[in-house]
Structure 1
């Protein structure tokens, strides 16, 4: 198990451009492998898919738990960073729908790492921080430039996040990604101004 101190020490380290590219490829390959195969995904296969050696993977992520934690943080950051871009480049409702679909995909990938994440992210402060980041991304999309905001004034970003979490759980337990898309459509009809 990784302590908070070890996690904090690993975060701020900046990498050379080539090392950063390798890490990004590793995280993308690992996220896909864990989503597909669960926590039992082969580290050798992940390294091969990323186009790096196993030694490179282990130098950066000495344990599978650290790799899973890095994937999780990377994917959360990517999802949150996408909100301003979506808000700037798409109509408000389309931006919100696209982000919600990406959130469901993130949660689906997270399911493959669920057991390991329970250990890695056992700190309530980490969970609350992640929720705050995700809610901020939703709030950005809900505001979408005030004058063209798609949302009813009483809609709360935290409530939307909780509803998306419920949608993710239901679709996952039923094994039906299409159900998530249908439920997102229903959620949007409740959020969007008439």
Structure 2
């Protein structure tokens, strides 16, 4: 007989959220101070609490990544009501660059090798992410703001390619956003 799963205690839920936020901040920054111990310190919990919530580095990475993607999906829905569909798309792509920045830092810091579990998670969230941006692209096409042959895959591929083509550094984000803006401006109907 299966026992019913209990709802996590509120302090456990808070600790989990604090750990995810701390991991995003500490690990995405990389460098020698980016360790799981540093994540626990930043979240103001013990290392045992970190491992209780995230028994592996991969579990922590997946939690951070999944939360970032969920926020992007929610943002896409919120942006669909903006007056300029192109500016909504621009806002969303800029937020996607933040996800790329986080993912780059996490992968470098945690030295993860993708497993079957992580591949399945990426496939699931990637499909949802594509659907979210597909709606924004459709809106910009419908209002005549961008070319009708642009696809969600075009935008995502470009953002990822630009994001991963330049080495990390202090100017990384400014450069990536500049190139993304040039690309978006090139999609406009003149």
Distance 1:127 1:67, change over 3 A: closer
Match of 1:169 in 2: 164
For the pair shown, the structure with the greater C-alpha radius of gyration is: 2
**Equivalent position to 1:118, from 113, 121, 146:** 113
RMSD: 2.9
Query: Would you say 1:42 and 2:41 are equivalent positions?
Result: no
Alignment of 1:1-194 (within 5 A): 15-37=8-30, 41-89=34-82, 91-114=84-107, 116-120=111-115, 124-144=119-139, 147-148=142-143, 150-172=145-167, 176-194=172-190
Q: Considering fraction of residues, name the structure with more helix.
A: 1
Which deviates the most, 96-105 or 81-90?
A: 81-90
Q: Which runs of 5+ in 1 are unaligned?
A: 1-11
Alpha-carbon spacing, 1:80–1:178, altered in 2? closer, same or farther (3 Å): same
SS at match of 1:118: coil
- Match in the other structure for 1:5: none
Q: CA deviation at 1:124?
A: 4.5
8 Å contact kept, 1:143–1:151: no
> How has the CA–CA distance of structure 1 residues 185 and 52 changed in structure 2, closer, same or farther, with 3 Å as cutoff?
same
Q: 1:145 to 1:93 in 2, by over 3 A?
A: closer
1:96/1:64 CA distance change after superposition, 3 Å = same
SS in 1 for 2:113: helix
* TM-score, structure 2 normalization: 0.80
- Further displaced range: 80-89 or 93-102: 80-89
Secondary structure of residue in 1 paired with 2:149: coil
Aligned residues: 183
Q: Cα offset for 1:167?
A: 1.2
Contact 1:61 1:67 in 2 (8 A): yes
The offset of 1:127, in angstroms, is 3.5
TM-score if structure 1 supplies the norm length?
0.78
